[in-house]
Amino acid sequence: MKKAMIGYQVYSAREEAAKDLKGVLKKLAELGYDGVEFAGFYGHGADEVKAMLEETGLKAISGHQALPETIDEMFAQIAFYKKIGCEFLAVPYLDEAHRPGSDGFGKTIGDIYRFGRLCREAGIQLLYHNHDFEFVKISGEYGLDFLYHAVPEDILKTELDVCWVKYAGEDPAAFVRKYTGRAPIVHLKDYVGKKGEKSPYALISKDGSGKDDGAAADPNDIAFEFRPVGYGCQDVPSVVEAGLAAGAGWFIVEQDQWYDRHPLEAAKMSIDYLRSIGL
């Protein structure tokens, strides 16, 4: 298998990072991760974060931050991420009023286009990180596809989160391949269970302790639980193969919830599994 870089979304260890970001980065480097993607900086400035990265040898891959609403906010975000060495920035989430199918989605597309142009001028590539709510149909196609057709490829590329692609009922590997040449980063996220009445976002607790009820011997009967990569229902080798074929240079591990396991133990399980399959 062709070599690619393995990153870690620091949100997955958010409680630990809030207490000791430098310690978390050091541990991730020791585990063998090549880089990190941020979702906030826990009160640290750009110079501090840059120094932590230089000391640990980790690459700042990207950052997840809410889509800025003003030009000044856009410039401020770009300047921060540029300073710490990010090549990418990602729109991570949309509130209900701005999602595909809402009245505000047209504005979202315009804001993404504007932000993406500013990012490009600064040498940063804007990405969009999906959930499952983009898999509603607009004019006969998924909202996610509609977005990528509406915003030019040089301004917006994909950061496909394969958990939510599968949860929405699509084949993650096939979906990644569909965006060959436009998929520099793939988010590897595993889970067990199936789609039910309870929103999986409700299971992402801030303290990491909100385990859902209904666990059963058969993984398919579990309501929904996130898992370390390789320990759930995803066909990870197929997704990795598809990502490599699509031109991905980074595979980023993300686990929204870790339940009774320490998040950095889960991080170790994920990277050990990925190394075991040749990544």
CATH of the domain at 269: 3.20.20.150
Pull the structure tokens for residue 145.
């596809």
Q: What is the pLDDT along the chain (279 residues), one digit of tens a residue?
A: 557 999 999 999 999 999 999 999 999 999 999 999 999 999 999 999 999 999 999 999 999 989 998 999 999 999 999 999 999 999 999 999 999 999 999 999 999 999 999 999 999 999 999 999 999 999 999 999 999 999 999 999 999 999 999 999 999 999 999 999 999 999 999 999 877 666 676 655 444 333 333 333 344 456 789 999 999 999 999 999 999 999 999 999 999 999 889 999 999 999 999 999 999
The answer as to whether 199 is a domain residue is no
Q: Considering its fold, how many domains does the chain have in total?
A: 1
Pull the structure tokens for residue 119.
């990012």
Q: How far is CA 212 from CA 189, 206, 228, 230, in A?
A: 18, 14, 16, 20
Pull the structure tokens for residue 51.
């120094």
DSSP state of 95: -
Read off the pTM: 0.92
DSSP state of 138: E
Q: Domain range spanning residue 53?
A: 5-190+228-276
| Partners of 186 in beta bridges | 160, 251
Report the interhelical angle of 14-31 vs 263-276 (nearest 10°): 30
Pull the structure tokens for residue 181.
């040449």
The answer as to whether 90 is a domain residue is yes
